[in-house]
Structure 1
């Protein structure tokens, strides 16, 4: 039978070696002020286009329905390692410089709505609790050492028109070979983008709203191109761990609501059903004992004007939170995209386990309102061969779940036989 539980993933996919080399070289040339316009830049564009075409085909071969460009077009500033996952946006805005040391929490500008402030990354409560683990290179917990720190020193202005246009063109060109297939492109949220140093804007709100203004242009371009916009915002959940000491839930909800308000402003004029929001508790492979429970965050997340939520549901710290949906009602105009495949383990999930995870959510919110996804991006977190095996297990599990969910329940059959 045909499968009706659709599949997707959270964005990042492992890069091919040629693209890794080209991306590293482009980052070096950009930092040296050589780009754009030289031969290496042209060669990079060619490699990215070819790689996107290949990764779209691979996703479809592996059974993924809603695909993306693997985030292959997002060049990062490699010496700002701690920000590598969103470092691409620093190449698409003006108003920032690199410094060799971070600001302290005491140096941060105040907020007009919240007394909470983010601590340094090294002062995360999970890292303090497991200091010996995070500082032991043999522990298996990978934390990249940061060697440079971006800082906002002038007005934030979007200058990434050419870059986002290239992302759009590459993905739409690849999709043109597969009529009817939906594609998405990820973009950072104002809240996550604003988690860098700032000495220009007078308040946190001014900084976040400046990011919202700049990012609106990227959001609009993606949606205008007929693609789904995925907002990546781990900050909504993982900021909790970076506030030390631990705040009250109520104070943190207000702190987070500021970021949701800015996101809604950045999404102005964009239909909610063209937007999905990816929220996670950070992608690092660590204990995560200080993660905020989903139950304490979900009502604030519902305030975002988006059509779908991608939430972690497959890793050992958050899988149990499927039970939240026994008490929480998913709004009628929303879709749930639970992560039924995790980025935090090299073990490839059995398709039967994937099916069971999907069925839990389908029975609580309705099978027509569930899309099967991944906890977080797989790129850089598992070996490329494991990543593809996980995506195939995702598709196989969705097929099993679709078959079972389409069959009448035993109680229904019994009633019909009476």
Structure 2
């Protein structure tokens, strides 16, 4: 029997105790990074122990710390995967200007530019639904983000926080009997989407983020852990370009971000790298998502053994068939989403097994790890999130018995 391993995309539900402990922290003088108190440090360490132990109890093969080091002060937050880095980078400042609502230059053939978040094409098309609090369409809590007002760098606090994440996860892995786990980290391309008020050049700003993120990647790798680089921008940027660009122009734009990530990962073994991409975690129509068939070859250029992507939600489940035509490079492993964060319906184990078997029939069961579309924490109710992980493991066992 070939065992199908299980994992997930990273974020898991925070406990009320951890949320309260984070909310109680005083904010530092820069207005961004809350002070790390001894009390919070103790609560965080115990919470990581508990969340890893719960993954072990359920039967998750490859765990992480639930992204608990990416602090949340409310039960629902779609953006912590991104905003956590603000605490770890110098040169950022909350200016009081909400750049998401400012007018942005339109793109033109050969000149692809991101527009403001508010001008996303899916959001504009379904503005009435997005603006109706009873529609079920949700963007999550929208915060005012900082801007780069000076040279950016990975700060002393950033080094302390990633070491804290590493120490907490390694201790929890040991306590639960795991040999390996992963930590999530942001990509240069996704990070560079914040407002630049200093560099004045898109490529120069992207290059600066390469240097910023590399110390975090290196620290995780040096600790013997797997890095999951979260880079939704590779697919999600397409919706944030107006008017819609050609496939060729978008891929050229995306190739720069792939190159930036590879430069940041230079020297780190591919076996220690997972790439996660998605089309954004918000609960909406997603009618302007870029086709995975057109993107797959470009993202496979990332120096990562594992490729994590959405494959369970209603907009992207059909795309499993692309792997019939796209050869998976030797040594690579697919980590498709088999259960989704975008619905409260808990998938049946038989459906889970069928979804796994589709991929296994094409690339081989040894090249498939069953996971989630995106992070479950902060996006659906905790009870539902854990039930989805339980059915993921049940379905993987069923698929394993049939493979």
Both structures adopt the same fold (TM-score exceeding 0.5): yes
Q: Does 1:136 align with 2:135?
A: no
Secondary structure of the structure 2 residue equivalent to 1:10 = coil
- The one-character-per-residue Cα deviations of 1:154-191 (angstroms, maximum 9, x if unpaired) are 11110100000000000000111234432000000000
Partner of 2:16: 17
Partner of 1:400: 398
1:236/1:279 contact within 8 Å kept: yes
**Alpha-carbon offset, residue 133 of structure 1:** 0.2
Say which of 354, 379, 384 aligns to 1:381: 379
Q: 1:243 to 1:370 in 2, by over 3 A?
A: same
CA distance in 2, matches of 1:21, 1:341: 29
TM superposition shift of 1:143: 2.2
In 1, distance between residues paired with 2:26 and 2:296? 37
Q: Who is 2:113 aligned against?
A: 117
Question: Does the C-alpha gap of structure 1 residues 135 and 50 become closer, same or farther in structure 2, counting only changes over 3 Å?
Answer: same
Structure 1 distance, partners of 2:92, 2:32, is 15
In the aligned structure 2, how far is the partner of 1:290 from the partner of 1:267? 30
CA distance in 2, matches of 1:89, 1:76: 13
Structure 2 CA distance for aligned equivalents of residues 88 and 305 of structure 1: 24
1:151 to 147, 156, 160: 147
Aligned residues: CA RMSD: 2.2
Cα deviation code 1:254-303 (max 9, x no counterpart): 01001000000000110011100000000000010110110011111011
State the distance in 2 between where 1:146 and 1:35 align: 19
Give the conservation status (yes or no) of the 8 Å contact 1:76–1:86: no
Partner residue, 1:260: 258
In structure 1, the partner of 2:193 is: 195
Unpaired runs of 5+ in structure 2? Answer: none
How big is each residue's C-alpha offset from its partner over 1:119-150, in whole Å with a ceiling of 9 and x where there is no partner? 11111111111111000011111124645231
Cα distance between partner residues in 1 of 2:386 and 2:141: 28
Q: Larger radius of gyration, structure 1 or 2?
A: 1
Confirm or deny: 8 A CA contact 1:183 1:227 kept in the other structure: yes
Q: CA–CA distance in 1 between the matches of 2:189 and 2:290?
A: 17
Q: Please report the TM-score for the alignment, with normalisation by the length of structure 1.
A: 0.90
Q: Which runs of 5+ in 1 are unaligned?
A: 406-418
TM alignment of 1:12-411, pairs within 5 A: 12-26=11-25, 28=27, 36=35, 41-75=37-71, 83-103=79-99, 104=102, 106=104, 115-144=111-140, 146-159=142-155, 160-405=158-403
